[in-house]
Amino acid sequence: MVKVGVLALQGAVSEHIKMIEENGAVGVAVKRVEQLETIDGLIIPGGESTTMRRLIDNDHFFEPLKAFGEKGRPVFGTCAGMILMARSLTDQKEGHLGFINMVVERNAFGRQRESFEAHLSVMGISEYVEAVFIRAPLVQKIGEEVEVVSEYDNEIVAVRQGSFLACSFHPELTDDPRMHQLFIQMVKEYK
């Protein structure tokens, strides 16, 4: 059976695990580096990207996470997770894991729209997907190898590059398991 880990340093971990299990896979809260060896794919959840990066560094997760993705194992980043996967960010010199060739703007919706819900059309999913945006980032620029998976208001809010998937919203905070289904399909194909 497919085993999907959720990086459990900060953020909405149990909600992701519930979605993974609703899709018939095994969900694992990843708290220690060694656990990366036991999973087929990884979700990096939402939270606060600067805090999460600090926790990643404190627990010596950075290099092992990078190696996990570079081996081709699927990674799905949601919200802060998307920020951590970007090649670069508009508000700081260096990106983090750099898995996806994209430039991401943090907190891109401003104070007026701190959080809201929307129905999105998502590539590979036939009907609208429910999405919750919370101090969400936006993708400002993508490289040629990056596919747009979803847009909101003509802005890119979900992308895929090979084994990497990222979205600026929180699919785990809805009752809609289909974004996770999309990712678990990627993990099955990899396996």
Q: Which residues are catalytic?
A: 79, 170, 172
DSSP class of residue 31?
A: -
Q: Is 103 in the site for ligand GLN (CB under 6 A)?
A: no
Q: Is 79 in the site for ligand GLN (CB under 6 A)?
A: yes
Least Cα distance to 46 among 85, 80, 10, 5 occurs for 80
Q: Is 80 in the site for ligand GLN (CB under 6 A)?
A: yes
Window 82-101: residues binding ligand GLN (CB under 6 A): 83
* Count of residues touching ligand GLN (by CB under 6 A): 11
Q: Are the C-beta atoms of 96 and 49 separated by less than 8 Å? A: yes
Q: Alpha-carbon dihedral of residues 170, 176, 177, 183, nearest 10 degrees?
A: -50
Residues 6+ apart with CB under 8 A from 30: 5, 6, 7, 8, 36, 39, 42
Distances (CA, A) of 70 to 88, 93, 97, 163: 17, 22, 10, 9
Out of 20, 30, 36, 49, point to the residue binding ligand GLN (CB under 6 A).
49
State which residue, 2 or 167, has the beta carbon closest to ligand GLN: 167
State which residue, 30 or 136, has the beta carbon closest to ligand GLN: 136
Binding residues for L-glutamine are 47-49, 106, 134-135
Q: Which two tokens stand for residue 122?
A: 């998502």
Out of 5, 27, 47, 69, point to the residue binding ligand GLN (CB under 6 A).
47
Contacts to ligand GLN by CB under 6 A: 46-49, 79-80, 83, 106-107, 134-135
